[in-house]
Amino acid sequence: MDTGTHIVMGVALGGLATLDPAVSNSTVMASSVMIATIIGSQIPDIDTVLKLKNNAVYIRNHRGITHSIPAVILWPVLIVGGIYLFEPTVNILHLWMWTQLAVFLHVFVDIFNAYGTQALRPFSHKWLALGVINTFDPFIFVIHIVGLLLWAFGAHPGYTFLAIYAILIAYYIHRFFYKRKVQKIVEEMIPDATEIIIAPTLKNTEWRIAVMNKRQFFVGRAHKLRVNILDQFNRVPVPESPVLKAAKKDPNLSAFLSFSPVYRWELEEYDDHYEVRFIDLRYRSNGHYPFVAVVKLDKNLKILSSYTGWIYSEEKLKKKLDFLPG
């Protein structure tokens, strides 16, 4: 989920914790638990700082080790230990329980996004991505804000958020069934599909669709269970040519390929250089595919510059390739 949603979820858990007598009967515990659940709801995303280095490192590592089983166990211990240094009178067991719930819930809800997490590390490096909830879901965010407002106007925070989370469980189930209906429609339209990727959008009734069979890629959109195929591309295997082999050694392209399951590629030759472009087909927006990896090589196959990330205009991409080293 996005940072804002994780924050309001942390506050909501602090409110839910008031149902615990060990919390509600102690002002120190109540404030400590609130601090712990807010931090616990954020700390797995500490790897976002990797974006300051470059997109390739961020793509390879975001929601990786910081969302793993050892991390989910370690984060609450560090948070509780830090709070205990300042408030040694806290009930450590109950503080740990609510902190553990906050950290676990962060990782758990991230699994429902299309991006997913490597939550089973170190036992498996597979990405768990159920693709039923958008990274920012307006309904989830707004219902938390409603709960916070009710709390501010005097409602009991524990029972308020208990009711809200019951609603959210029903909402998640609804999203699962909705996606399944869309998938069945796609399976009927493209019966020989070998892979179907259905991803949520900001709009509850709309889904992005990327499908492949042995010969083609299909890119579409679903709206209220009406599926439209917007683009089709022939599947062309990436050749083992010297140019492509050299391009694949670039960290940006390597990171892209580790992240993107459905893409097409292009190779352009100019007077003094080659340009290799890989295009993720999952994020079509207004006829444009913004998530790309591009590698620029000279005629001797030396990498001049490269980029991976979100690009919405060729002008911006050209500027990045002109000034970024490979």
pLDDT at 315: 74
- Beta-carbon neighbour count of residue 302 at 10 Å? 11
User: Which long-range contacts link 208-215 to residues 24+ away (Cβ below 8 Å)?
Assistant: 208/282, 208/283, 208/284, 209/182, 210/262, 210/281, 210/282, 211/186, 212/262
Band the pLDDT of 323: cuts 50, 70, 90.
Answer: low
What strand order describes the sheet that includes 263-269?
Answer: 263-269, 273-280, 291-298, 303-310
Closest CA to 206 of 184, 190, 228: 228
Is residue 276 within 8 A of residue 294, CB to CB? The reply is yes
Mean pLDDT of the chain: 93
| Pairing outcome for strands 216-223 and 226-234 | antiparallel
Question: Which residue carries 């931090």 as its tokens?
Answer: 39
Render pLDDT for 145-186 as a digit per residue (tens, 0 to 9).
Answer: 999 999 999 999 999 999 999 999 999 999 999 999 999 999
Whether omega before 122 lies within 30 degrees of 0, making that bond cis, reads yes
**CA–CA dist 179, 243 (Å, integer):** 40
Q: Structure tokens of 1?
A: 């989920």
Return the bridge partners of 35, or none: none
Is residue 304 within 8 A of residue 296, CB to CB? The reply is yes
Query: Which pTM was predicted?
Result: 0.90
- Maximal C-alpha separation, the chain: 75
Band the pLDDT of 286: cuts 50, 70, 90.
Answer: confident
